[in-house]
Chain A
Amino acid sequence: MAAEESAGGSKQRPIASMLCLPTDPGEKPYLVGYRCSACGATYIGEGRVGCSKCTATDPLTKIQLSDHGSLYVYSIVHQSAPGIPVPYISAIVDLPEGVSVRCNLIDIEPDPTKLQFGMPVEMVTRKVRERKEKNAEGIEETIDIIAFFFRPSQN
């Protein structure tokens, strides 16, 4: 969800529109998917016009994607653009809805011998940076930018 949401007093904004931060503090953040009503193909994120699998152009159905999945493959990034901390694991995670998501895999050593294909992983969200912006009344406020990550499943 691209819109601003407030949770626990401070303003929060998702880093990408595929991440939904519910306003109700009892609800957990989740990834947004869209499912084709004709063939069932599932896509991640907003802004989809039609189904690239079956070519149907009927509106797709918005769904909430699971917050757990399995590690498909990864790369360990040792060299990146300036300002990006390395090394880190860039992972492809398969979700039960039949769609994949690219993410950083955290809370595990960036070492191929520690990573197992198919290992169960779960989604967590964390603040990654903040923005200072003026609101409609011209008052400066701080907005927390929230990103999603996956980590080895805890249970």
Chain B
Amino acid sequence: MRDVYVLGVGMIKFGRYPDKDVPQLGAEAAVLAFKDAGMSIKDVEMFVCGNLFQANAMNAQRILQQIGQTGIPALNVSNACATGSTAFREAYIGVASGMYDVTLAVGVEQMGKMGLLGGGARSGGESVEGVLGSGLMPAVFGQAGVEHMRKYGTTAEQFAKVSVKNHKHSVHNSLSQYQVEVKLEDVLKSRMVAYPNTLYMCCPTGDGAAAAILVSADKMKQYTNKPVKVACSVLTSDPYTERDLTMPDVNTLTKNAAKQAYEKAGLGPQDLDLVELHDCFATAELLHYENLGLCGEGEAGRMVDEGRTTIGGDIPVNASGGLLSKGHPLGATGVANIYEIVTHLRGQAGGRQVEGAKAGLAHVIGLGSACTIHILTA
């Protein structure tokens, strides 16, 4: 496999765009990435679009119909919340395999004011939501947090601190859906959605798009002398574990992905300068500190207590504001994480810059389940 570089990235502000459609949002992000890379659609040899809720709408082709119908191979992927990062990975494979020198990945989603996601399980026509427990995401990630409480004595307050931290980071990200600081007492007092996650501990729904242009080494050298390398690209599915089919196990597939990612990149968690991880709910973030090896088993609560994952701490997590503030337009999220890491590695992150960042990890989980990890290095 060949080395692959991210030459250009683009992202539109996450929020609500009721007057636009998915192809428009995706096209806007692609154009930003072209401008960033100094390329045009004419340079692109293959294009992957990630979108979840309109996965049958041929969005890749409709984006090309907006920015240039060059006739290149274009494909559409969906992989739950890991949709965007899976699109990025497919574009990565296109270059790594030697088949293409320039590929484009776009992640895009339009959710509007969609409510609680997931669940909806029906059995023989009967709705079971709220009767046989809850399959909705707030309860699923509530249970995952309660499992951590059971194992390690983690407190609701420690989970709430994740929300405080990520909202604090978001203030310096103009592309974040929300840019508002919140106090710990506000988080704890906000409306309970599914214990222990209160409203401010749940990511918002919204619209957004992000894009990345991936290139081979030869191509990279023609355009830049400050390359950002994709040190590894990993995708795992959920292996058999004791309760996974009843209570989605978001831990084991992330641990498996992290192990593979560190091996492939030749790096360890101690070599990372920043991490963007899948904080769809505040509870999830603490679990992933351990799953990604940022701390030992059972130490995540103490890690957030000590501020080690705040910008300025030893391993800043979700400098972008995280899904909790930046927003989580499902298909866009995975590519937006890449955008964030690239921005820091180039030293262009402004008020939220992690100084001297040389290596960053982007992690995404899609329930069902899929996990991607990409490590990027400057």
Report if A and B associate in a common complex: yes
Residues of chain A having any CB pair with chain B under 8 Å: 2, 13, 15-17, 41, 43-44, 52-53, 72-81, 84-88, 90-92, 94, 98-104, 112, 117, 128, 145, 147-148
Complex CA–CA separation, A98 to B147 (angstroms) = 18
Q: Which of B124, B129, B150, B195 contacts A76 (CB 8 A)?
A: B195
Is A79 in contact with B123, judged by CB distance below 8 angstroms?
Answer: no
CB closest residue in chain A, given B243: A100
Is A16 in contact with B124, judged by CB distance below 8 angstroms?
Answer: yes
Is B126 in contact with A145, judged by CB distance below 8 angstroms?
Answer: yes
Is A92 in contact with B191, judged by CB distance below 8 angstroms?
Answer: no
Is B240 in contact with A53, judged by CB distance below 8 angstroms?
Answer: yes
Residues of chain B having any CB pair with chain A under 8 Å: 115-116, 119, 123-124, 126, 128-136, 138-140, 142-143, 145-147, 150, 191-196, 240, 242-243, 245-247
Is A80 in contact with B134, judged by CB distance below 8 angstroms?
Answer: yes
Is A15 in contact with B128, judged by CB distance below 8 angstroms?
Answer: yes
Residues of chain B within 8 A of A88, CB atoms compared: 130
Is B247 in contact with A73, judged by CB distance below 8 angstroms?
Answer: yes
- Known A17-B124, A102-B133, A103-B132; judge A73-B116 contact (CB<8 A): no
Q: Which secondary structure characterizes the binding site on chain B?
A: loop
Can you list 8 A-B pairs, Cβ within 8 angstroms, ordered by A? A75-B194, A77-B130, A80-B130, A81-B116, A92-B246, A117-B150, A128-B131, A148-B132
Residues of chain A within 8 A of B246, CB atoms compared: 44, 92, 99-102
- Shortest distance between the CB of A72 and any CB in chain B (Å): 7
Complex CA–CA separation, A17 to B132 (angstroms) = 12
Is A16 in contact with B132, judged by CB distance below 8 angstroms?
Answer: yes
- Known A77-B139, A79-B116; judge A17-B123 contact (CB<8 A): yes
Complex CA–CA separation, A98 to B115 (angstroms) = 35
CB closest residue in chain B, given A104: B133
CB closest residue in chain A, given B147: A73
Is B146 in contact with A75, judged by CB distance below 8 angstroms?
Answer: yes
Residues of chain A within 8 A of B132, CB atoms compared: 15-16, 102-104, 147-148
CB closest residue in chain B, given A85: B130
Is A41 in contact with B191, judged by CB distance below 8 angstroms?
Answer: no
Is B129 in contact with A81, judged by CB distance below 8 angstroms?
Answer: yes
Most buried by B among A2, A15, A86, A102: A102
Complex CA–CA separation, A101 to B142 (angstroms) = 16
Residues of chain A within 8 A of B195, CB atoms compared: 74-78, 112
Is B193 in contact with A16, judged by CB distance below 8 angstroms?
Answer: no
CB closest residue in chain B, given A48: B245
- Excluding A15-B126, A74-B143, A85-B130, 4 further A-B contacts by CB distance (< 8 Å) are A72-B150, A75-B143, A81-B129, A104-B133
Is B191 in contact with A79, judged by CB distance below 8 angstroms?
Answer: yes
Is A79 in contact with B243, judged by CB distance below 8 angstroms?
Answer: no
CB closest residue in chain B, given A2: B124
Is A72 in contact with B243, judged by CB distance below 8 angstroms?
Answer: yes
Q: Which of B130, B142, B242 contacts A84 (CB 8 A)?
A: B130
Q: Which of A81, A92, A128 contacts B247 (CB 8 A)?
A: A92
Residues of chain B within 8 A of A41, CB atoms compared: 240
Complex CA–CA separation, A47 to B281 (angstroms) = 32
Is A90 in contact with B243, judged by CB distance below 8 angstroms?
Answer: no
Complex CA–CA separation, A43 to B240 (angstroms) = 11
Most buried by B among A13, A73, A74, A86: A73
Complex CA–CA separation, A62 to B132 (angstroms) = 22
CB closest residue in chain A, given B148: A73
Complex CA–CA separation, A87 to B134 (angstroms) = 12
Residues of chain B within 8 A of A72, CB atoms compared: 147, 150, 243, 247
Complex CA–CA separation, A46 to B193 (angstroms) = 32
Residues of chain B within 8 A of A2, CB atoms compared: 124
Complex CA–CA separation, A42 to B302 (angstroms) = 37
Complex CA–CA separation, A15 to B116 (angstroms) = 23
Residues of chain A within 8 A of B147, CB atoms compared: 72-73
Query: Which 8 pairs across A and B sit closest by C-beta, in order of nearness?
Result: A75-B142, A84-B130, A90-B133, A16-B123, A76-B195, A102-B133, A90-B134, A100-B246
CB closest residue in chain A, given B156: A112
- Shortest distance between the CB of B205 and any CB in chain A (Å): 13
Complex CA–CA separation, A103 to B130 (angstroms) = 9
Complex CA–CA separation, A112 to B150 (angstroms) = 12
Residues of chain B within 8 A of A148, CB atoms compared: 132
Q: Which of B116, B126, B142, B194 contacts A16 (CB 8 A)?
A: B126
Is A76 in contact with B126, judged by CB distance below 8 angstroms?
Answer: no
- Known A2-B124, A75-B139, A145-B126; judge A103-B191 contact (CB<8 A): no
